Amino acid sequence: MNIGEVSTHTGLPAKTIRYYEDINLITPLRDDNGYRRFRDQDIHKLNFLGRARALGFTIDDCRTLLALYEDESRASADVKRVARDHLAQIDAKISDLRGMRDTLSHLVDACAGDDRPDCPILKDLGSKA
Amino acid sequence: MNIGEVSTHTGLPAKTIRYYEDINLITPLRDDNGYRRFRDQDIHKLNFLGRARALGFTIDDCRTLLALYEDESRASADVKRVARDHLAQIDAKISDLRGMRDTLSHLVDACAGDDRPDCPILKDLGSKA
DNA sequence: CATAAGGGTTCCAGTGACAGGAAGGTCAAG
DNA sequence: CTTGACCTTCCTGTCACTGGAACCCTTATG
């Protein structure tokens, strides 16, 4: 398979696939004309990466997970640790965002949103809390 | 005030303050020795920026908000629009993250996390869902 | 007076995970 | 033979800073 077809199959942009090769996440073969030729294992890896990235794992995490995936003698504890850490990060980010959202939605509600200049949003931002 | 003192007062790193000058968010004066000299209005702006950034507004949004802040004849509707748009983005991000968290927490719960290689997390990532 | 510590300055490079685009080679169809 | 769709590499830009090098200014101390 050429990169275009792989892109369609995996849902990953060709740019992204090339990038993944660049950083040594995958190593497709090359045809005589220089085109990348993707084997089933490459496509499998790309699907793995797509899933992992969709769950918000960093590229570094993906590298670790991929290595564990291919290591038959791994301990599931190692996988779980990576996932649990990432879960904690996600939770932290969610709670950050919720804090912002709560403050911001109060401010938005309090703002008339008309032609007048008076605005609680700006008033809040302008006050050193 | 010199940059160090301003940094302490505003809680912003000196690097960040210099960056904000670089991108023309603030324009402190200069002493004869080349040191930045910050007036009250500069510090006020920096506090504003700190608050706005803490609420997750982009630098571009901050620029807009700052301009509105200084425009006595603004319409609060303009402010509200910026804030509402940003709120929508935050909500979108939260729901993205919640989706990830739900999937991921199921997987983490399902994983034994022991010495054995069998792992539902990797199994899920490896299946093209 | 020399010096050392603790400010300040500029400029350059790196971050993460790609995306956009230019310049050019390759392939199948008409 | 040409057209258009594909592929290649390489360079730049994103966002909001952060780290570090190399150097200047100020104040206190031996």
Q: What is the pLDDT along chain A (129 residues), one digit of tens a residue?
A: 999 999 999 999 999 999 999 999 999 999 999 999 999 999 999 999 999 999 999 999 999 999 999 999 999 999 999 999 999 999 999 999 999 999 999 999 999 999 999 999 999 999 866
The one-character DSSP state at A34 is S
CA distances from B8 to A41, B14, B24, B37, B91 (A): 54, 9, 21, 15, 33
For B56-94, give one letter per residue: b (16+ CB within 10 A) or e: bbeeebbbbbbebbeeeebbbebbbebbbebbeebeebb
- Mutant choice from B79, B102, B109 vs A, greatest count of A C-beta within 10 A: B79
Phi-psi region at A113: left, alpha or beta (left = phi > 0; alpha = psi -120 to 50): left
Residue B15, judged by CB atoms within 10 A of its CB (0-12, 13-18, 19+), counts as exposed
Based on the fold, state whether residues B89 and B45 are members of the same structural domain: no
In a domain, B84, yes or no: yes
Q: Across residues B102-116, what is the average pLDDT?
A: 96
Judge whether residue B129 has pLDDT over 90.
Answer: no
Map residue A66 onto helix, strand or coil.
Answer: helix
pLDDT, position A81: 96
3-state secondary structure of B36: strand
Please tell me whether residues B2 and B36 are part of one structural domain: yes
Q: Categorize the per-residue pLDDT at B105 as very low, low, confident or very high, splitting at 50, 70 and 90.
A: very high
pLDDT of residue B87: 97
Residue B127: per-residue pLDDT: 87
Asked if residue A65 belongs to a domain, the reply is no
Q: Do B45 and B92 belong together in one domain?
A: no
Confidence of residue B21 (pLDDT cuts 50, 70, 90): very high
B51 and B12 in a single domain? The answer is yes
Q: What is the pLDDT of residue A129?
A: 60
pLDDT at B121 over 80: yes
Residue B18 has pLDDT above 90, yes or no: yes
Side chain identity, residue A49: L
Pairwise CB contact (< 8 Å): A119 & B90: no
Same domain, yes or no: B19 and B51: yes
- CA pseudo-torsion sign A113, A114, A115, A119: negative
β-partners of residue A30 are: A36
Q: How far is A104 from chain B (nearest CA, A)?
A: 7
Report CA Rg, chain A. 23
- What would the pLDDT profile of B37-65 be if each residue is shown by its tens digit? 999 999 999 999 999 999 999 999 999 99
Q: Output residues with Cβ under 7 Å from nucleic strand C.
A: A 13, 15-16, 19, 32-34, 53, 58-60; B 2-5, 7, 14, 18, 34-36
Whether B81 and B46 map to the same domain: the answer is: no
CATH, residue B24? 1.10.1660.10
Q: What range defines the domain where residue B35 resides?
A: 1-57
* C-alpha span between A109 and B80 (Å, rounded): 9
Show the CA angle centred on residue B15, arms to residues B9 and B17, nearest 5°. 50
- Apex B60 CA angle, B58 and B66, nearest 5: 100
Rounded to an integer, the average pLDDT of B18-40 is: 96
Q: How far, in Å, CA of A68 to CA of A82, rounded? A: 11
Domain count, chain B: 2
**A1 and A49 inside one domain:** yes
